[in-house]
Structure 1
Amino acid sequence: MQSLKSQFYNEVEWGKLLKSGDRLFLGSNAAIPSALMDSLIHDAPQIKDLEVVHIVTFSDCEWALPKYKDRFKVNTFFIHSENVRRAVDEGRADYTPCFLSEISQLFNDDTLPLDVALIMVSPPDELGYCSLGVSVDIVMSAARSAKHIIAQINPRMPRTGGHSYLHISEFSACLQHEAPLPQILPHEPNKITERIGQYVSLLVGDGATLQLGIGKIPDAVTRYLFNHKNLGIHSEMISDGVMELMRKGVINNRQKTFHPGKTVTSFCAGTDDLYQFVDNNPHVEFYPSSYVNKPRNIAMNDNMVSINSALQVDLTGQVVADSIGHDFYSGIGGQVDFVSGASMSKGGKSIIAMPATAKDKTISRIVADLTPGSGVVTSRGNVDYVVTEFGIARLKGKSIRERALELIRIAHPKFREALLSKVREHLWVPDYQKRYPTDIDELGDVQIIPVDIRGEKYYLRPLNPADERRLQEFFYSHTKETLRLRYNAVPQAMTREKSCDLVSVDQTKDVALTIVKQEGSSLVIEAVGRYYLYDNQPFCEVAFVTRETQQGKGMASRLLNTMIDIAKKRRLQKMFAFVKAENKPMISVFEQGGFRRLPSEDPSEIELILDLEGD
């Protein structure tokens, strides 16, 4: 052990390992070797024109300041620091877009040959092996490709399992310097991100394997997964939220089909509690990004759910994630890797989650046309789900028209009318599509309500314009008897125009609800309930219809009770219903809901009334 200790130096002889014009790799995320960069900046001023290559570095990135422009030229794969962002904007630094899974190959095949890799590691064990600790990602590949490795040995660096070890003999120089790892504190909850977290959690089934990023939305998502069971993790990064779910037993990786029993990641970022959690933890394994982010490996996890963010989404489903117009803001990162992998996974889902607006609700993130200069990171053909605080848009298998209507529905209400008008300019929607989606405030912040019906999960929510085709399919599933009992006749057709009219409802006035069965991107309407407000009176007429295979299970009662609750909150006084006398099951539903029969001159029809004020 004494021979290993003798290799720890108090200073690095930079002139022997590095020369002007070299390309330098800098360690990532919370494993930024700040002591080495401080030494290089202050102890080797004679070395100039260094290209510094890195991804995210949790640091002030002093080397990107204007005063060092003759010494360091940053080439980043992901823009995170304000100093780096400003340097890119001013042309003093470069941004190189690349999938995170493919960055390592740039080093390996000498597209970007590395002269020196500056990294941070744990102290060596008794065999001389140091761990890359909290950041393996592209660090391992950079270290393997560089001519020289210079390591900052930090006693506070955790020892992590997986493919995270380098032998001290591989280092050309070492600097022992103890320092706390940068901490990323969990974000404080707010109303918008909490809603988004709730909606995303509805898309995560028990037994799913997750990929989560860092930020307010991933933090919110993890807070709404505590009632889930047997979740797994295969993610480029993990944070405190994942740790808490592992401690609760929600994440146990039991049902994973790739690395079962293990949380697989390439780096972690969070609090000291997280760093202590991963230290020598046999349940968490760190691998290079080239392995973790490889879409084929991601897809080996059944029920893989990827959750990523965006800056802007257009009405065809194109996702902008690294730039705002001509200004580069972040990077491609692992979004496309995981969107692709989740899409190939058996039962997989890819989710883009973002607030509906920016700049104090003055700008819609859902747009008819992308801001000029914005680059598409994830194509419209890759997108599965888009989530905002206003709901879930399901895009997979949807036409451009259906996508536009889905996305307008989850835009901020004050932008919906303008978005629909803009879409009409491109003839993506027919002239009879006149109404934009509206919410039912009385349902609460989350407009989708999971309901358990005889052990099966369904969702109760408002009907909306994007349901046009599904409602048409629902109509044509009915038998003639159902149509006769519901409509007092047998309608011969349900045109798209008629279907559009039925789903384009001003939900602030009338109400149209549905219970749907959702399996991945497959959606089936099982029941519909609606009430129509009488003109100039606080009364409404209510009706509903249920798919024949679902009748008798209580769906109509759930719809009726929900509509009664909404009507009361809107201070309506009476609800009416007109039912064929032979439709005894329907009459029974109304009577169980508190309706009473009224005298009728027509024996073939029963009129029922519910006094809302008297209840």
Structure 2
Amino acid sequence: MTDTMSAYADRIVTAAAAVELVKPGAHVFLGTGCATPLSLVTALEARRPSPPDVELFHFLTSALAQDGAAYDSRFRHRAFFVGSDMSSLVRSGAAEYVPISLVQIPELIANGRIRPDVALVQVTPPDAHGWVSLGVSVDIVMAILRVAGTIIAEVNPRMPRTHGDTLIPAERIARFVQVEREVTEYRHPPIDDIAEQVARYVAEIIEDGATLQIDLGRIPNEALKHLKQRRNLGIHSNVITDGVLELIKAGVVTGAQKTLHTGRVVASFCLGTRELYDFIHDNPLFEFHPIEYVADPVIVARNHAMVSLSQAFAIDLTGQVCADQFEGGFYGGVSTLPDFHRGAVRSPGGKSIICLRSTTDDGERSRIRFQLLSGEGVGLARYDVHYIVTEFGIAYLFGKSMQERALALIEIAHPKFREQLVTQAREAHLVRSDQKMMSPRQYLVEEERVVDLADQRRVLIRPARADDAMGLKDLFHALSAQDVYTRFFRRMTSLPYEDAQRLCNVDFDRDVAFVAVEGPRENENIIGTGAYFLNPTTNYAEVAYMIAPAWQGCRLGGALQKRLREFAQARRIKGFVAEVLPSNTKMIRLARAAGDLIEQEDDEDECRIKTTF
């Protein structure tokens, strides 16, 4: 050990002396995120004369741009992710963006496309056995260091020592530069009410026992704040932030139901505050591994109920997602988006969620577009996309037709752009020529209710959506001929699309409709519906129901009636009226079961029931 420490001491130099090892034409790797070796980068930028033809390459850098000023580099850069440090350099042409999944970095190294002559990183001091830890940044760093010709390291005692595959022998490092400064801290900027609403909707999809991958976007990280009521969540993520720490302290993240690395938080790098760094220091709860392991779709899929949550810039009506360009400029990157997405959807009970604001920040343009703009590349193909979430609701696209996905996306677009999107979709034959959008508001997720029926079955009663039309047609065809007659007062063998739309494509002001569904959100089956249509002159609403035969007799009709009544009473509606056949004893019993004031008028052909709340 004495020899090891002596050799370590012999290699301690100043930053200026260390970067003299960078030769002309060298390809120089910079460490990632909050572990970016700032003193080494500063010394290299200050070197005079500058070594010619040097290229710096990296994944995500942090704190190179100071005090809001753009980072001005003397060298050309090659970036696998365009963050705030690199955005101005990419726009000016002084940096090149490489769109690639980080999982493929080892492949580029193996075939010589990436040639790390020198690597500049930040590490912990050597331990008693002569090993240093990469601390908060393993990601692509470990793959680079395994083949780098020369490694130069800042040694920072403030860097947390982390568990997992984070150690390299000090003897591999050519020069050490001692620094003692706080590891760069990262805090997500505050979000507004719109992003907050998106985050709330995202949290609605995440269930107890899920294992989460949370990408770097503000909205995904805000969603963590709305998971305090969940139980036994796990983390298997490319990156972790302080939001994960809050859930651990709240007892929400336990990893108890993880099927891979049970009880452990698995990540590849960390961006956070000193509080998070102190918590992960020498804490076996956390395991940091190279990105090619953490984001390998096969590995990801081994986690039961894996949820991948990422943020996008735009999506078109067919479901094509853009995640690394916005209005012609590169920002963000491919990173691990496709890998976690594919792993999550292959996981038993897994989900992939893409979230975005419905409009640009100034509210002038829709991010849900008829077509992606020129300069907006496809990060996820339409056939791969599952959940899309905006502040106006949740759309599930996988396995849906072009018409179904266009309707679902228009319904979660900003209301002021919906009519334009419907018109464009009609002209392109993406939707029917008679398609209209009625609801001017967001999907009312707060009005969803899970109810237990008399036979112990559990169903979800939720607000109807425009894309429920085909599900309602299926419900219609499940009815008996007598059920159809008692519901519609005539013999019908089909439910015209226009009539189906009237039962689901409503404004939730004068006209309201709820559907009862069974099964997961990804594969819902509509088993019942209740709707009312308000007469503003009388302030009474005409009410009607359809219940699938297999679900009659278990009080589903009563549950739908209760949901409609609650909604109506909250809007000060006086009551319901229903025109029913005298033979429709089920409907008459349902009306009387509410216990309110009932007025019943009978004649030979029909019975009029008036319920006053």
Give the TM interval when normalised to the shorter protein.
over 0.9
Instruction: Write the distance in 1 (CA, Å) between the matches of 2:598 and 2:370.
Output: 51
Following the alignment from structure 2 to structure 1, what is the Cα–Cα distance between the partners of residues 575 and 349?
A: 46
| Counterpart residue number, 1:108 | 110
Residue pair 1:263, 1:285 contacting (<8 A) in 2 also:
yes
Please, which runs of 5 or more residues in structure 2 have no aligned partner?
none
Q: 1:563 and 1:520, CA in 2 relative to 1: closer, same or farther beyond 3 A? A: closer
The answer for the alignment partner of 1:371 in structure 2 is 373
In the other structure, the counterpart of 1:543 is: 544
Give the Cα–Cα distance (whole angstroms) in 2 for the partners of residues 565 and 558 of structure 1.
11
Cα deviation for residue 456 of structure 1 reads 5.7
User: 1:433 is matched with which residue: 421, 435, 441?
Assistant: 435
| Change in CA separation of 1:596 and 1:236 when aligned onto 2, cut-off 3 Å | same
Task: Report the 3-state secondary structure (helix = DSSP H, G, I; strand = E; otherwise coil) of the residue aligned with 1:337.
Answer: helix
Q: State the distance in 2 between where 1:242 and 1:389 align.
A: 23
The offset of 1:583, in angstroms, is: 4.0
Q: Give the 5 Å matches for 1:502-513.
A: 502-513=503-514
Asked if residue 22 in structure 1 is aligned to residue 49 in structure 2, the reply is no
Q: Cα 1:596–1:242, aligned 2, differ >3 Å: closer, same or farther?
A: same
Once the two structures are superposed, residues 455-476 of structure 1 have per-residue CA deviations (whole angstroms, 9 ceiling, x without a partner) of 6654332222211111111111
Q: Which residue of 2 aligns with 1:80?
A: 83
Query: Alpha-carbon deviations, 1:144-203, whole Å to 9, x = none?
Result: 121011011110111111111011000011111011112122554542223222221222
Alignment match, 1:515: 516
Q: Would you say the 8 A contact 1:439–1:508 is kept in 2?
A: no
Correspondence list, 1:2-401, <5 A: 2-3=2-3, 4=5, 5-7=8-10, 9-12=12-15, 13-14=17-18, 17-43=21-47, 45-61=49-65, 71-81=74-84, 83-188=85-190, 190-401=192-403
1:554 deviation in Å?
3.9
- The aligned residue for residue 407 of structure 2 is 405
8 Å Cα contact 1:453/1:554 also seen in 2: no
Question: Secondary structure of 1:19's match?
Answer: coil
The Cα offsets for residues 482-512 of structure 1, whole Å up to 9 and x where unpaired, read as 3233334442112444423433323332111
Aligned-partner residue type, residue 524 of structure 1:
N
The CA distance in 2 between the partners of 1:283 and 1:240, in whole Å, is 15
Fraction of identical pairs, as percent: 37
Shift of 1:536: 4.2
Deviation at 1:102, TM superposition (A): 1.0
Deviation at 1:363, TM superposition (A): 1.5
Do the aligned residues in 2 keep the contact of 1:99 with 1:332 (CA within 8 Å)?
yes
Is the partner of 1:152 in helix, strand or coil? strand
Partner-residue secondary structure (3-state), 1:101: helix
Q: Which amino acid counterpart does residue 30 of structure 2 have in structure 1? A: L
Q: 1:67 to 1:195 in 2, by over 3 A?
A: closer
Asked if the contact 1:187/1:215 (under 8 Å) is kept, the reply is no
Equivalent-residue separation in structure 2 for 1:195 and 1:499 (angstroms): 30
Closer/same/farther in 2, CA of residues 318 and 355 from structure 1, 3 Å limit: same
Bigger mean CA offset, 556-565 vs 269-278: 556-565
Q: How many residues are paired up?
A: 606
Distance 1:510 1:65, change over 3 A: closer
Residues 594-615 of structure 1, C-alpha deviation per residue, up to 9 Å, x if partnerless? 4433242426754322334xxx
SS of the residue corresponding to residue 358 of structure 1 reads coil
Cross-structure match for 1:451: 450
Counterpart contact for 2:393–2:442, Cα < 8 Å = no
502-511 vs 450-459, greater mean Cα deviation: 450-459
Distance 1:452 1:132, change over 3 A: farther
Q: 1:575 is paired with a residue of what secondary structure?
A: strand
Cα shift at 1:380? 0.4
SS of match in other structure, 2:90: helix
On the 8 A contact 1:595/1:608 being kept in 2, the answer is no
For the residue of structure 1 that corresponds to 2:25, the secondary structure is coil
Distance in 2 (CA, whole Å) between partners of 1:235 and 1:66 is 30
2: CA distance, partners of 1:226 / 1:584 = 46
* Structure-2 separation of matches of 1:67 and 1:550: 64
Cα deviation digits, residues 22-41 of structure 1 (max 9, x gap): 11000001111111112222
Cα deviation for residue 241 of structure 1 reads: 1.3
Q: Distance in 2 between matches of 1:536 and 1:15?
A: 82
Alpha-carbon distance in structure 2 between the residues aligned to 1:253 and 1:139: 26
Cα distance in structure 2, aligned partners of 1:498 and 1:575: 21
CA distance in 1, matches of 2:599, 2:19: 98
Q: CA deviation at 1:277?
A: 1.4
Query: Aligned AA for 1:453?
Result: D
Alpha-carbon deviation of 1:543? 1.5
Question: Counterparts of 2:208 and 2:567 in 1: how far apart (Å)?
Answer: 31
RMSD: 2.4
Deviations 1:222-243 (A, max 9, x none): 1121221222111101111112
Letter of the structure 2 residue corresponding to residue 493 of structure 1:
S
What's the CA shift for 1:573?
A: 3.4
TM-score, with normalisation over the residues of structure 2? 0.93
How far apart are 1:315 and its partner, in Å?
A: 0.4
**Deviation of the 1:585 alpha carbon:** 4.2
| Structure 2 CA distance for aligned equivalents of residues 457 and 85 of structure 1 | 50
Aligned-partner SS, 2:157:
coil
Mapped contact 1:440–1:462 kept (Cα < 8 A): no
In 2, Cα distance between the equivalents of 1:59 and 1:52? 16
Report the 3-state secondary structure (helix = DSSP H, G, I; strand = E; otherwise coil) of the residue aligned with 2:576.
strand
Q: Distance in 1 between matches of 2:597 and 2:578?
A: 10
Per the alignment, in what secondary structure is the counterpart of residue 386 of structure 1?
Answer: strand
- State the distance in 1 between where 2:573 and 2:180 align: 69
Counterpart amino acid of 1:26?
L
Return the alpha-carbon distance in structure 2 between the equivalents of residues 51 and 277 of structure 1.
36
- Tell me if the contact between 2:601 and 2:609 (Cα under 8 Å) persists in the aligned partners: no
- Amino acid corresponding to residue 183 of structure 1 in structure 2: E
Deviations 1:9-61 (A, max 9, x none): 13153475211211100000111111111222234544233111011111134
Contact 1:447 1:461 in 2 (8 A): no
Mean Cα deviation higher: 106-115 or 130-139: 106-115
Structure 1: runs of 5+ lacking an equivalent: none
Given that 1:343 and 1:382 are in contact with CA atoms closer than 8 Å, whether structure 2 keeps it comes out as: no
Does the CA contact (< 8 Å) of 1:483 and 1:491 recur in 2? yes
1:114 alignment partner AA: P
Offset from partner CA, 1:231-259 (integer Å, 9 cap, x none): 21111011111122222222222222222
Structure 1 pair 105/450, CA: closer, same or farther in 2 (3 Å)?
farther
